[in-house]
Structure 1
Amino acid sequence: MDEKVAIQIIQKLRHDWMNDLQLILGYIQLGKPEKAEEKIASVIELAGKNRALDRLQLPKTTILLLLLNAENAHFQWEWEVRTTNSSNESFPNDDELKQQLVSIYELLQEHLVEYEVYHATLSIQKKEEECAFQLIVNEALDNTETLVEKLKKLSFVESITSTESFQIKWKQFRKVIECL
């Protein structure tokens, strides 16, 4: 990774942590300990989500998500990880997932409404033989019919729904190599 990219990510993370600490201190100084406790709980929850992503051993995907958040205040990513598999193997495939997210993000960028702030939630559910992904964007996208058509051309996308929120689902399967 380029040193400038690393510094950019570190600066964004430090900025966010300082904002959180200043809010907590402000709530305490204003005599609002319940608000401070709520903020502390949200910081702990975020740290837990980051730890869960770290445990999947997806350095390229993790750096991509952190970099996108650092570069784009108008499009912020969140993630949640659920796993039934405690092994430390590198599954899902980091390179493949990173490229899938880049492909989706590039298409989404073409359909963002100007001055809208977007929040995307990436859900990762890891099981023994498969890893399911769901990306949800709750804010309005421009020309969703065209976006859906473009997304359908991505070979890995399984389903797209655009009712109350815009959802994209796909999976990766464990590649089992049998030795005879």
Structure 2
Amino acid sequence: MSKNWNTFDVLRHSRHDWLNRLQLIKGNLALDHVDRAKEIIEEIIIQSRQEAKLSNLNAPKLAEYILTFNWCNHLFQLDFEVIGDEYDICIYEADLIELISRCTTVLDSHVKVPSDHHLLLTLQLYHEEIHLVFDF
């Protein structure tokens, strides 16, 4: 982990993220873009469900690494999804963090210009097998 997050840090970053989302919804409603506001709300619901799935894997350090990644200085944004059967992956947690950390470090070192770069990390969980897919 790159940082030890205390409760205050987590609440501050989380509050900032939620205020940004609410401002997007409010701005779209003010412009009478109701359909776009509904899309943003649906995106928030989907993201919250993905966060819950990640949290249900009994890998709290992995969840912390992924959920706080965008709060640190990176030249790209990390998005994630969990697909498949939710089960306890705690025995793989350290290895998964190491692998994801190495991959994101390599990407950080090769991205030179800050732009709208995104990495989608997909954790595919099937029959007690874990597959990671990195889509940059």
Whose Rg is larger? 1
Other-structure match for 2:98 = 99
Other-structure match for 1:135 = 134
Amino acid at match of 1:44: I
Amino acid at match of 2:128: E
Quote the offset at 1:68 in angstroms. Answer: 2.1
Other-structure match for 2:27 = 26
Label 1:10 to 1:91 Cα distance change in 2 as closer, same or farther (>3 A). Answer: same
Contact 1:121 1:135 in 2 (8 A): yes
Structure 1 unpaired stretches of 5+: 138-180
SS in structure 2 of the partner of residue 110 of structure 1: helix
What's the RMSD between the two structures over aligned residues?
2.1
Identify the structure with bigger relative contact order (alpha carbons < 8 Å, sequence gap 6+).
2
* 1:2 to 2:4 alignment: yes
Matches within 5 A, 1:152-171: none
Amino acid at match of 1:104: C
Structure 2 distance, partners of 1:97, 1:3, is 20
Quote the offset at 1:92 in angstroms. Answer: 6.0
Structure 2 distance, partners of 1:66, 1:35, is 25
Structure 2 distance, partners of 1:124, 1:105, is 15
Label 1:7 to 1:100 Cα distance change in 2 as closer, same or farther (>3 A). Answer: farther
Identify, as 1 or 2, the structure richer in strand: 1
Contact 2:62 2:96 in 1 (8 A): yes
Amino acid at match of 2:109: E
Using structure 1 for the length normalisation, give the TM-score: 0.65
Number of equivalent positions:
134
Quote the offset at 1:113 in angstroms. Answer: 2.2
Structure 2 distance, partners of 1:108, 1:32, is 36
Structure 2 unpaired stretches of 5+: none
Alpha-carbon deviations, 1:43-74, whole Å to 9, x = none?
11111111121122221112112332101363
Structure 2 distance, partners of 1:32, 1:108, is 36
Contact 1:124 1:132 in 2 (8 A): yes
Alpha-carbon deviations, 1:104-123, whole Å to 9, x = none?
12222221122333211111
Structure 1 distance, partners of 2:36, 2:128, is 42
Label 1:30 to 1:118 Cα distance change in 2 as closer, same or farther (>3 A). Answer: closer
* 1:117 to 2:119 alignment: no
